[in-house]
Amino acid sequence: MFIREGRRHTGALTPLLHSRDEIVRALDRLISDGYRRDDLLLVEFCDTSDADGIYRKYSAFRVGDAILPRHLIFSHHWSVKKPDMLAPLLAQEQDRYLKENPHRSWLMDVFRLAGIEYGTNRLQHVAQ
How many Å apart are CA 63 and CA 58, to the nearest integer?
17
Q: What is the pLDDT of residue 127?
A: 46
Q: What is the pLDDT of residue 82?
A: 85
Provide the percentage of residues in the chain whose pLDDT is more than 70: 92
How many Å apart are CA 27 and CA 19, to the nearest integer?
12
pLDDT, one tens digit per residue, over 52-78 is 999 999 999 999 899 999 999 999 999
Q: What is the pLDDT of residue 122?
A: 59
Please tell me whether residue 15 adopts helix, strand or coil conformation.
Answer: coil
Q: What is the pLDDT of residue 118?
A: 83
Residues 6+ apart with CB under 8 A from 40: 3, 4, 5, 6, 13, 27, 30, 31
Read off the pLDDT band of 42 (50, 70, 90).
very high
The domain limits of the chain are 2-43, 55-123
Q: What is the pLDDT of residue 123?
A: 56
Whole-structure pTM value? 0.78
Q: What is the pLDDT of residue 92?
A: 97
pLDDT, one tens digit per residue, over 72-120 is 999 999 998 888 998 999 999 999 999 999 999 999 999 999 988 887 6
